[in-house]
Structure formats: C-alpha cells, structure tokens
C-alpha cells in the first residue's frame, strides 16, 4: 500500500507553546488529507479534512484557531497545535487519500504529543 510519514513521531512541550506536526505522502499524491486525534483507550476521532490549496474543514467541536492546518502541496500537510495545554496531549494521526476508483486512505504512524 501507499506510504504516509509523520514527523516528529513524538514530542514533549511546555504548556503555552506551539507544536507543528508534518504529514507527508511519500509515493502518491494526496489530494485530500485528514487529521485524527486518539486519546488513550479510545477510538480515532476525525478532527479536520484538508484539500490541497484550500481551507480545511473542521469537525464540530474542533477549534480551527487552535488546530491550524495547512495543505500547501499534494504531498505535505501540517497540523499546528497553538498554545498547547495538557489536555491537548494525545496521539495525532494523519491520513492521505488520492482520487481514484477506490480512494483508499492510508495512515501515517502517528505523533505522540505530551504537553507538560
């Protein structure tokens, strides 16, 4: 299957700082990328959908000014957690989909964010 990478794989930061997470599709062009969040022992929750060159669409309850998403190219999307607080500590996972008959999504390995 297609490969999606994320960087960093884990990050620890102080409360009030901002953290940027990168998501790259390595061997395909991702016209759409998705960002999910997963708390311990819970399922994945979709945060937002981004299409290359346009604004992201956020799910209900997700603050767009806190979770900034940029999808500047067909292979790169970034999620910036601004003014992070301990409650933002979570596992953040991105996925990419390409247009096509099946339009399967492929997921990155995830980024573990810990806010102190």
Partner 1 sequence: DAKTTQPPSMDCAEGRAANLPCNHSTISGNEYVYWYRQIHSQGPQYIIHGLKNNETNEMASLIITEDRKSSTLILPHATLRDTAVYYCIVRYRPGFQGAQKLVFGQGTRLTINP
Other beta carbons within 10 angstroms of residue 99's beta carbon come to 9
* Cβ 50 to partner 1 shortest distance, Å: 11
Which residue lies nearer to partner 1 by CB, 36 or 67? 36
Which residue lies nearer to partner 1 by CB, 49 or 70? 49
* Cβ 11 to partner 1 shortest distance, Å: 15
Going by C-alpha positions, the residue among 13, 31, 16 that lies closest to residue 83 is 16
Q: Which residues contact 61 (CB under 8 A, 6 or more apart)?
A: none
Which residue lies nearer to partner 1 by CB, 7 or 112? 112
């Amino acid at each position: 299957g297609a490969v999606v990478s994320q960087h960093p794989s884990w990050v620890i930061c102080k409360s009030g700082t901002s953290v940027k997470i990168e998501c790259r599709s390595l061997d395909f062009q991702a016209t759409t990328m998705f960002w999910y969040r997963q708390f311990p022992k819970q399922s994945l929750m979709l945060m937002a959908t981004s299409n290359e060159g346009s604004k992201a669409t956020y799910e209900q309850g997700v603050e767009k000014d806190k979770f900034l998403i940029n999808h500047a190219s067909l292979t790169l999307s970034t999620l910036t957690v601004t003014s992070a607080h301990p409650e933002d500590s979570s596992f953040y996972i991105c996925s990419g989909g390409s247009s096509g008959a099946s339009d399967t999504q492929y997921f990155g390995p995830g980024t573990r964010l810990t806010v102190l």
